Structure 1
Amino acid sequence: MPSRFAELGWADTRIGEISLRRRLEPTTKTDVYEVKLGDEYLMSSLFTVAEEELSRLGLAALPDGARLDVVVGGLGLGYTARTALDDDRVASLTVVEALAPVIDWHRRELLPEAGALVTDPRTTLLEGDFFALVRDGSGFDPAVPGRRFDAILLDVDHSPVNVLDPTHADLYTAGGLRRLTALLRPGGVFGLWSDDAPEEGFLAVLREVFTSVEAHVVTFDNPLTRGTSANTVYVATAS
């Protein structure tokens, strides 16, 4: 019989101790995979709808029939990246992850369906600081500095105002977003997951930089509360 709890991976990183664990969730009677940073929960396989919608909504804003080069910032449990690969228009997918242990967990297939992501020939797993790569302009292809992409989808921080690391905060300013648009092709899309409700202040900043901006409220069942919860997916289109 499988154990009710197992720590599958642990590492000490520059931002603290990170761990991957599997546990039996009593309310759903299913295995749940979770990533924790110290005592803080970063992600859970119990709630993946909004992470998947980040890819669906972001890519839906791009033309039908296009061949798309896509970046996902933050590998996590892999839901955003795998959903992007479900779109037949995606020709290449670069997943940028700052923490080497998270990439290692996927390559060792410690997570369900990780093999489908890491063995897809369209996938490149890039170890790097997404925010630093935007800030210095080098971008997400070491072989082609400044290379432009059709979509950049980001799921790292809790929200634009609740960041995991203070160095992330400048991305969510007009200047930071303009640096990001330099890595998008004309008409390219920036998508962002947030744990919070739509924030008018951040929407105003997005509208300074992008020609079209939407905030999608994504609701999903929450078996822990026996109600519903909601996240936000921002989708912004560059000129």
Structure 2
Amino acid sequence: MSNRFQEIDWRPTPLGDISLRRRRDPASGEDVYEVKLGEEFLMSSLFTEGEVELARLGLAPLADTELDVAVGGLGLGYTAAAALDDPRVRSVTVIEALAEVIDWHRLGYVPLGSRLASDDRCRLVEANFFERVAEGGGLDPSEPDRRFHAILLDVDHSPRHVLHPRNAALYRPDGLRTLAQLLVPDGVFALWSNDPPDGEFEAALGEVFSTVRSHVVEFANPLQGGSSTNTVYVAR
């Protein structure tokens, strides 16, 4: 059991100060891990259903038996871990812009860190997902022409609420076409969003992909009472 509150790490980054905190949840008595960028909460281990469903829903349409998966955004590792739980997955390449977040996993500061860092199928790559897509360098720096069966993205709050203005271009038809070139035929692009389904973004996906579905993921919210929702878009 931890102390009631601990700031595990704090570092300045090009996006602002990032911190990893651990606190004891008074209701459950369990440790909760939280990441803040400046004064903004980015993620919490209290709410992981959307991250897990991003992997499950993103991989569900695929019939292949040996899947190569790219994950944009490491976070606390729940999407990558859920992808590795699928027995069909042979490799997971996680693209994370902040070296600090990768360090937390390699140093075992977060619950899933040691698991991801020690799994031979999982690579943690320090790179900016949006720049890699836009500049045509591919998502695997060691293999620029590599294509993936699935690309799972969880970086911005939503296509409308981005962490950096340059990210917005990816969510338009031209950006989505560039991203689609990194998929194998019939591959899947899946995106996590904190907002309800967005008809304008669904239309942009529909200009590029053959099928588009928006899944609303509901989960209990003990902080606010009742439940909250995320959206997972799945485009093939």
Q: What TM bracket, shorter-length normalisation?
A: over 0.9
Task: State the percentage of identical aligned residues.
Answer: 60
Aligned residue type for 1:209? V
TM-score, scaled relative to structure 2:
0.98
Aligned residues: 236
Tell me the C-alpha RMSD between the 2 structures: 0.9
TM-score, scaled relative to structure 1:
0.97
**C-alpha contact (below 8 Å) 2:173/2:208 kept by paired residues:** yes
Paired position in structure 2 for 1:211: 210
Question: Does 2:126 match 1:127?
Answer: yes
The within-5 A match list for 1:70-89 is: 70-89=69-88
Query: Distance in 2 between the 1:20 and 1:118 partners?
Result: 18
Deviation at 1:119, TM superposition (A): 0.5
**C-alpha contact (below 8 Å) 1:28/1:223 kept by paired residues:** no
Paired position in structure 1 for 2:153: 154
The within-5 A match list for 1:12-161 is: 12-63=12-63, 65-161=64-160
**C-alpha contact (below 8 Å) 1:137/1:146 kept by paired residues:** no
Deviations 1:11-40, CA, capped at 9 Å, x for gaps: 100000000000112233221100000000
Partner of 1:209, secondary structure, is: coil
Aligned residue type for 1:5? F
Deviations 1:73-124, CA, capped at 9 Å, x for gaps: 0000000000000001101100000000000000000011311111000011
Partner of 1:56, secondary structure, is: helix
What runs of 5+ residues in structure 1 fail to find an aligned partner?
A: none
Deviations 1:106-147, CA, capped at 9 Å, x for gaps: 000001131111100001110000000000111112222131
Query: Distance in 1 between the 2:224 and 2:166 partners?
Result: 34
Runs of 4+ aligned residues of structure 1 deviating over 3 Å after TM superposition are none
Aligned residue type for 1:35? V
